[in-house]
Structure 1
Amino acid sequence: MKDTPGWASPGSAPSDGQEPGTSGPAEQPDQPTPAQPADQPGPQSQDPGSKWSKEQPPPAQWSAPGGSPGPGQAPPPPPPGPGWGSRPPGGYGGGHGNWQGPGGHGGWGGQWGGPPPAAKPGVIPLRPLGVGEILDGAVSTMRTYWRTVLGISLTVAVVTEIVVILLQGLVLNDRTSTEALNDPSATLGELTRALGDALLSSGVVFLISLIGTVAATALLTTVTSRAVLGKPVTTAEAWGDARPRVVKLFGLIFLLLLIAVGVAFVGAVPGILVALAGGGAAGAGLIVLGSLCTSVVALWLMIRFSLASAALMLEKQGIMKAMSRSAKLVRGSWWRVFGIQLLATIIANIVAAIVVIPFGFLAAALSGDGVSGFLEGTGDFGWTFLIISGIGSVIGSMITFPITAGVTVLLYIDQRIRREALDLELARAAGVQGYGSGTADSTPGS
């Protein structure tokens, strides 16, 4: 008798003297087998396998996979064709190569085409989003609801730019001077004073621009959140939803700005102390080094709290609660959030620069010392220059406002879908029937 294991049919055990793997009774020509009554179970009936259903096919009709049929057996029927509920031609165990998954790859689901796509009532599908889908959603919002989006952006940009032009033309140009920065023979006092004037002028313009950005973000957040649901919104409706939260949004932005400046200043304190003690060069080096180090910390904090504005507007939260929500949503995804926002900022600024730079050269050519004075920074920035360059800035803001605000809102929604299954609530709010019953595509984006 051989000791090699073979194939045994389910529900039956090999008879005495029968080798495993044979499909018929064991042949023993030299030893006759005494007959047994037909109704008396044989010795193999005590095997645990005999407890299977009595309707199991007899052992003689089973054969090993791929083996030839035994004596007296009919060949097995051909395998059924592909279709619902059918077994693949290669068998379940070794025939996975015949299955075609979604996109033509091997895997389950080839015969029915994979799960249906996720619902898309608005500008994005209701599932975890990829980078391209977030950027496309922001652009689609601007394209689909262009009247509302461009109307808000144009209004905020025009008001902001008018204030900037008036301040620069009436106040800053007369009271600030940066000519010493281009003078090699300028004294330390003159350089310090000129640097202070430049920082003051830039700081005022930045502050006004920041106020305009906050206002645009507040209004466009409402528009983008409605666009996700496929629901249109007018400028009046957007303002009605955003108005109760605008003051808190200003407080949030100024608090984040204060945190960033405070962290950067802490890094510059050692250098300032050394400079005051008489170490001019060493103090300046420490100021630069300390500011660079703490700027990294400030950047990390700004990305960590970058979704706070969307949380404040859409969840109706307070300032501290919104910052806490942003930190929770960004946790574990800092690099992804940073990369997407950086990419969106670069794209928006490149597109805006294509418009703004030609207006700057045109303004310089029509005023003051011409283009050469504009490039050297010594030109007279009069009213002509301010007005023409301001028009370019308005057009550029109409592009940057919707993209940056839209990406922030969609990032917030994407993070909540990934962590809190917000897509189910959005589907119910959009009126999608049967969503969340296991039929939607939940493949996460990158």
Structure 2
Amino acid sequence: MDGAFQACRRNPAATFGTAIIIQAVIAVLSVVFGQSLIGSLEVLDTQAELTDAQAISFGASVLTGGTVLTIISAIGILAMQGLLVIPVARAILNLKTGLGQTWRLAKGSYLRLAGMALLMLAASIAGLAAFVFAVVFVIEFLGTSGVVLTVLGVLAVIAVFAWLTVKLALAPAALVLEPRGIFAAVGRSWSLTRGNWWRTFGILILTSIIVSIIVSVISTPITMLVTLFASFGSGDAAGDDLSTILPVLVLTTAISAFFGAIGYAFQAAVTSLLYVDLRMRREGFDVVLMREQEHAASGDPDDVPGRGGHGQFPVPPGPWPGGRAAGSR
């Protein structure tokens, strides 16, 4: 965690800036969707009675918009995890990375990151649909006695989801840094976490808890104050005019997106360092980093550690080279 913090502090534009840009895009789309939803509610409110066609149309709009936002959010979060491995890896060699440089060095990985996000999202939806079908089937044939099996099934699904999340957590980093294809990156993450699942799980879950608490403690009071002042300013009209909700929606979404981006950036940095650390433990990747650090000062300013077929060295891992960012091991 200290290494992730140092890497983010050393490259604030590349880490926090990238996260804020991605979260800003998601926030803008969320506001646009919220505005269209408010407009639909205002139209429906003027109707004396809601027809079946209107109800179906409104439900379809909500479902479509929610699905699009979910897909975009999944792509954005996965892209963030892949992009931020570049400034974190370069920070290990004491190399600073700019915002534009990060995106330039990740050029060629955008479509593969989007494809990976869609693949994982589709697999999650298929798994959830299969589980719901199984629950309906069990309750239909076993009645009330199937409730016990349903509870056990829910616990099993949670356990499987946690296991798969950890096994696939390093795939975006492998896809961008090495670089690899979608399925090759998935296999890479799977092999790197073999024998290190509990350690990886502990670090990721602890980081997630800490970031969630800090972000909530900071953003929730600010959001509540914004909502409170907006309610005082709108007077009694707020209850009659749904359009008065839009400014509050914009402000609260912007606040949540900003602090959420900071948290996501830190989590992505921790995941990136985990990826580098596991490569060190399994492949002697630290030897590659030592070799590249010797030439970093006089070499290519756009050098990315580990690219160009490096990293497959069957030697025992050594200390992290160079820099405060590398001291987390």
Q: Does 1:335 align with 2:198?
A: yes
Taking the aligned partners of 1:168 and 1:201, their CA distance within structure 2 comes to 9
Amino acid at match of 2:79: A
* Pairing partner for 2:6 from 123, 140, 145: 140
**What's 1:351 paired with?**
214
Contact 1:368-1:382 within 8 A present in 2 as well: no
Calculate the TM-score normalised by the size of structure 2.
0.74
Closer/same/farther in 2, CA of residues 230 and 255 from structure 1, 3 Å limit: same
Aligned counterpart in structure 2 of residue 268 of structure 1, from 132, 136, 140: 132
Matches within 5 A, 1:109-188: 135-171=1-37, 174=40
Which residue of the partner structure matches residue 250 of structure 2?
387
* Structure 1 Cα separation of the partners of residues 232 and 126 of structure 2: 39
Q: Which is worse superposed, 231-240 or 409-418?
A: 231-240
SS in 2 for 1:230: coil
For each residue in 1:146-170, what CA deviation from the matched residue of structure 2 results, as whole angstroms up to 9, or x when unmatched?
A: 2332322222222221111111121
1:197, CA displacement in angstroms?
9.4
**How far apart in 1 are the matches of 2:292 and 2:99?**
21
1:202 Cα offset (Å): 5.8
Alpha carbons 1:308, 1:323 under 8 Å: kept? yes
Distance 2:177 2:157 in 1: 31
Which residue pairs with 2:153 in the alignment? 290
* Residue 145 of structure 1: how far off its partner (Å): 1.4
Counterpart residue type for residue 143 of structure 1? R
Alpha-carbon shift at residue 392 of structure 1 (Å): 1.3
Do residues 229 (structure 1) and 88 (structure 2) align?
no
Q: Does 1:240 align with 2:104?
A: yes
Tell me how far 1:226 sits from its aligned partner.
Answer: 1.0
Distance 1:329 1:355 in 2: 35
Q: CA deviation at 1:242?
A: 1.1
Q: 1:346 to 1:195 in 2, by over 3 A?
A: farther
Deviation at 1:199, TM superposition (A): 7.6
1:345 shift after superposition: 1.1
What amino acid maps onto 2:40 in structure 1?
A: D
The aligned residue for residue 312 of structure 1 is 175
How many residues align structurally? 282
CA shift in 2, pair 1:331/1:196, >3 Å:
farther
Higher relative contact order (CA 8 A, sep 6+): 2
- Max Rg structure: 1
CA contact (8 A) 2:37 2:62 kept: no
The 3 A distance-change label for structure 1 pair 297 and 441 is closer
Aligned partner of 1:403 in structure 2 is 266
Amino-acid identity (%) = 28
- How far does the alpha carbon of each residue in 1:123-179 deviate from its partner, in whole angstroms, 9 at most, with x for none? xxxxxxxxxxxx111110111112332322222222221111111121377369xxx
- Which structure carries more helix by proportion? 2
Shift, 1:287, TM fit: 5.0
| CA distance in structure 1 between the partners assigned to 2:261 and 2:122 by the alignment | 27
8 Å contact kept, 2:113–2:175: yes
Q: Which runs of 5+ in 2 are unaligned?
A: 43-57, 234-241, 297-312, 321-327
TM-superposed deviation, 1:420? 0.4
Flag structure 1 segments of 5+ consecutive residues without an equivalent: 1-134, 177-193, 371-378
The RMSD of aligned alpha carbons is 3.6
Q: Is the Cα–Cα contact under 8 Å of residues 363 and 386 in structure 1 kept in the other structure? A: no
Q: Would you say the 8 A contact 1:142–1:150 is kept in 2?
A: yes
Distance in 2 (alpha carbons) for counterparts of 1:365 and 1:146 = 32
In 2, the alpha carbon distance for the partners of 1:254 and 1:408 equals 20
Question: 1:385, 1:278 → 2: CA distance?
Answer: 48
TM-score normalised by length of structure 1: 0.56
Contact preservation (8 Å) 1:245, 1:313: yes
- The aligned counterpart of 1:218 is 82
